[in-house]
Amino acid sequence: MIDVDRDAPQVRIIPPLVYLTGLVMGFVANLWWPVKFMPDRMAWTTGGVLIVCGAALAGSALFRFKRTGTTVRPDRPPSALVIAGPYKFTRNPMYLGLTVAYLGIATAGQSVWALILLPVVLTIIQRRAIEPEEAFLKRRFGGDYIDYTKKVRRWV
């Protein structure tokens, strides 16, 4: 039998740092081989909108966790299953928000290399954060979590 007080998600990465690493690597590559993919004004406008939308989505998810009184750290066991707010339409609004903000930063900075690295970032997030979190939530919350996954998609 699993001791739920000792059991925790097996997340061994810090997801925001994975996104940051992808951005930094992309911007460093952009210094050596810059590639503009849209006019500067359009890049800043589009990027700014994406950054604000991503931050708002991630922020609303963080607020929902705080309001529920559970941890936002993916390596710690949550005390409650959060299914309200942005969790009604995506099971991962924090990661989705970080992804949208990443797209905004890469777009505003005209870093095609950061955009190219995004699938790598998302693969790491999927395998090293989301999958262990989902396995834990299934163990911890059982049928409630399984029912939730049938109603709400992982990303969008």
User: Could you report the per-residue pLDDT of 133-143, keeping only the tens digit for each?
Assistant: 999 999 999 99
Percent of the chain residues topping a pLDDT of 90: 93
Q: What is the pLDDT, as a whole number, of residue 7?
A: 81
* Threshold 0.75, pTM exceeds: yes
Contacts of 76 (CB under 8 A, 6+ apart): 8, 9
Q: What is the pLDDT, as a whole number, of residue 31?
A: 95
Q: What is the pLDDT, as a whole number, of residue 44?
A: 98
Q: What is the pLDDT of residues 16-67, one digit of tens each?
A: 999 999 999 999 999 999 999 999 999 999 999 999 999 999 999 999 999 9
Provide the greatest CA pair distance for the chain.
Answer: 59
CB burial of residue 3 (10 Å; 0-12, 13-18, 19+): exposed
Average pLDDT of 70-90? 95
Is 11 inside a domain boundary? Answer: no
Is 56 inside a domain boundary? Answer: yes
Is 90 inside a domain boundary? Answer: yes
The encoded tokens of residue 37 equal 């993919």
Is 59 inside a domain boundary? Answer: yes
Give me the number of domains the chain comprises.
Answer: 1
Say whether pLDDT at 117 is over 60: yes
Quickly state the pLDDT bin for 6 (edges 50, 70, 90): low
| C-alpha span between 80 and 68 (Å, rounded) | 7
Is 123 inside a domain boundary? Answer: yes
Is 13 inside a domain boundary? Answer: no
| C-alpha span between 19 and 100 (Å, rounded) | 11
Q: What is the pLDDT, as a whole number, of residue 156?
A: 82
Is 3 inside a domain boundary? Answer: no
Is 25 inside a domain boundary? Answer: no
DSSP-derived secondary structure letter, 103: H
Average pLDDT of 90-118? 98
Range of the domain at 146: 40-151
| C-alpha span between 83 and 90 (Å, rounded) | 9
Residue 26, CA distances (Å) to 32, 35, 56, 71, 106 in order? 10, 11, 24, 31, 8
